[in-house]
Amino acid sequence: MVSPEQSLLIEKIKQLKKEKNVTLLAHYYMPPAIQLLEKDGGIADFTGDSLGLSLFARDAKAERILFCGVRFMAETAALLNPNAPIFMAAPEAGCSLASSITAEDVRQLKAQYPGVPVMGYINTYAETKCELDICCTSRNALEIARSIPSDKIIFVPDYYMGQNLAEVIKRETGKELILWKGTCEVHEQFKNEMFTSDPEADILLHWEVPNQLVKEQLDARKGVLGSTNDILSYVKRSKSEKFLLASECDLAFTLKAANPDKEFLTPCVHCKYMKETTLLGIVNALNAIGSDEEQAFLIQLDEATRERAIKPVERMLEFV
C-alpha cells in the first residue's frame, strides 16, 4: 500500500500537473502508485497498453504530456502528436527488444530477402522504424500479419513472439515468418517449472514468452496467448477464479483492480526499464517543465526521422 512518503509525492504530483497543465499517461507495467488513475486516488489520466497509449496520445488535446513508460513508447507518442511536447521522467528508459535491432540491421535483412515486406514490432526506436514497411503492437500483430499480401514476411525484433505468431499464421494461411533474434528480457524468463502449481488455474501468456512454455502450458491447462489487452479481456470473460500470470509483475495489479473477486499468482518478474520511472522522478520532471531544465526530459526527434518513422505507424493505425 501507499507509504506516507509516497502520499506526499502523489499530492505534489497532482498539484504540479494542474499548475503546468500536464496530462500523465502510464503503461500497465508501471508501479501501482503510478498506473492508478487520478480519479481512483492515483496520478494517471490514462493507463493502457502500448496501442492504447499511442491512440490516446494521438488524440489528446493536452498542452503537455508526461509519458510514464519506456522510450520507444514515448517516441511513438511524439510521432503521432507533434503538437504537444512529450516528456518522460526517465527519458533513457530502454527496452531489450528495441535495442536488439538498428536501422542498418533492417537494411541488411531487406538486402538479404529482396521484396519481402518487413513488419516491425512497435518495440523499436524511431530510427529503426524508418526502415519498416508496417508496425504492429502485441494487440494487432496477428491481424496485420494475416493482411500482408505476401507468402513471406520479415518480423522483427522479437524471436519468441515471432515463433508464437508464426505457428498461428502458418496454420491459418501457410505464410512464413522470417525472424530476428531479439528477446524481451522479462518475458524470456518464464519457464514451465514456474507454473506447475494450481492445476485448476488458467494461464495468461503474453506473446513474448518462449514458444516451449506456450506449448507445455496450453497442453496442461486452459488459458490465453496474446497481447496485454487479450489477457485483460480473457480474464474478464473467464468463469475461472484463479490465474497464473506469465507477464510483467505489475500487470497483476491492473488485473486485480479490474477483477477484485479473482486471484492472480505470478512469479513476479519486473521490467527494470519500466521501473526507472518513480514518483520522485515524476516530481523532478514536473518541476523542470516550463523552465530551462525541461530539455532534459523532452523527447525530441529530428524532422527527417519523424517523416519516415511515422509512415509504418500510420499504416498500422489503418487497422484500428
User: At 230, which helix (H) or strand (E)?
Assistant: helix 228-237
Rounded-to-integer distance, Cα 171 and Cα 169, Å: 5
Binding flag, residue 68, ligand SF4 (CB under 6 A): no
* List of E strands, 106-209: 118-121, 134-136, 152-156, 176-179, 202-206
- Give the per-residue contact string, 215-254, with ligand SF4 (x = CB under 6 A; - = no): ---------------------------------x------
Contacts of 284 by beta carbon, 8 Å cutoff, 6+ apart = 89
User: Segment near ligand SF4 (CB under 6 A), from 132-140, 233-241, 266-274, 281-289?
Assistant: 266-274
50 vs 266, beta carbon nearer ligand 13P: 50
Query: Which residues, other chains included, contact 202 with Cβ-Cβ below 8 Å and sequence gap of 6+?
Result: 221, 222, 223, 224, 234, 238, 240, 242, 243, 244
Which one of ligand SF4, ligand 13P, none is in contact with 273 (Cβ closer than 5 to 8 A by kind)? ligand SF4
- Give me 195's grid cell: 507454473
Pick one of 185, 216, 263, 294: the residue that binds ligand SF4 (CB under 6 A): 185
Q: Which of 140, 228, 254, 277 binds ligand 13P (CB under 6 A)?
A: 228
Residue 273 near ligand SF4 by CB under 6 A: yes
Over the window 111 to 150, marking each residue x when it contacts ligand 13P by CB under 6 A and - when it does not, the resulting string is ------------x-------------xx------------
Contact between 24 and ligand SF4 per CB under 6 A: no
DSSP 8-class letter at 259: -
Stretch that binds ligand SF4, among 52-60, 90-98, 280-288, 292-300 (CB under 6 A): 90-98
> Binding marks (x or -) toward ligand 13P, 73..112, rule CB under 6 A?
----------------------------------------
Q: Does 54 contact ligand SF4 by CB under 6 A?
A: no
Return the one option of ligand SF4, ligand 13P, none that residue 176 interacts with (CB less than 5 to 8 A, by type).
none
Q: Does 53 bind ligand SF4 (CB under 6 A)?
A: no
Q: Is 99 exposed, middle or buried (0-12, 13-18, 19+ CB in 10 A)?
A: middle
Which residues touch 302 (CB under 8 Å, ≥6 apart)? none
Distance between CA atoms of residues 153 and 156, nearest Å: 10
State the CB neighbour count (10 A cutoff) for residue 113.
Answer: 14
Residue type present at position 17: K
**Which one among 35, 47, 50, 266 touches ligand 13P, defined by CB under 6 A?**
50
For the chain, the maximum distance between any two Cα atoms, rounded to a whole number of angstroms, is: 59
Point out which residues bind ligand SF4 (CB under 6 A). Answer: 70, 95-97, 123, 184-186, 248, 271, 273-274
